[in-house]
Amino acid sequence: MKKQLGTGLTMLALTAALAGCGGGSTTPAATSPAVTAGSPNASATAPAASVSPPSATSTATAAGVDLKIASSSLGDIVVDGKGMSVYYYTKDVKDSGTSTCTGGCLTAWPPLLTTSDEPKVEGVTGTVGTITTPEGAKQVTLNGLPLYYFAKDTKAGDILGQGVNDVWYLADPAGEMIKTATK
């Protein structure tokens, strides 16, 4: 009984956080177009039922590549070193050095964190850097904008955050926002 109640409360909290991020109520379809990131785990199967966001430790890429390229139904996109899609938030201001996603927004859209002053990239041609979060962590930026995960993307290849509330978008290798709807 406690587990069911906890799961229900988690779903309710995530729904509330999503509603607070971007103002609209439109969400993408519950399908996940295929992404190939060079990993056998990057399949085109339906997303897992779990809706828990990456933990704080899993959002930081301690070693290896911070950003790389993967193929998706929308073309080449930027992903983290494990093949998880990363997103821009259109309410962030380029080169401001801050993120406008705070509070409950960060529950649904955890930041892409790194331990490096100079994030490592493979195939990404946009300008990669970092900003410091209010907690003192280093959030990865691309072309001066912070990058985030989407809590409903549970495995490499998921791009369920694309177009959420018309303010969350994937990035291409040059660091441009991909505003195309998922196919």
Structure confidence by residue, pLDDT tens digits, 134-158: 999 999 999 999 999 999 999 999 9
Among residues 24, 10, 12, the alpha carbon closest in space to that of 166 is found at 24
Quote the radius of gyration of the chain (alpha carbons, Å).
15
Mean pLDDT (whole number) for 21-41: 39
DSSP, collapsed to helix, strand or coil, labels residue 43 as: coil
- Residue pair 157/39 in contact (Cβ under 8 Å)? The answer is no
Q: What is the pTM of this model?
A: 0.71
For 53-63, the pLDDT digits (tens) are: 444 334 444 45
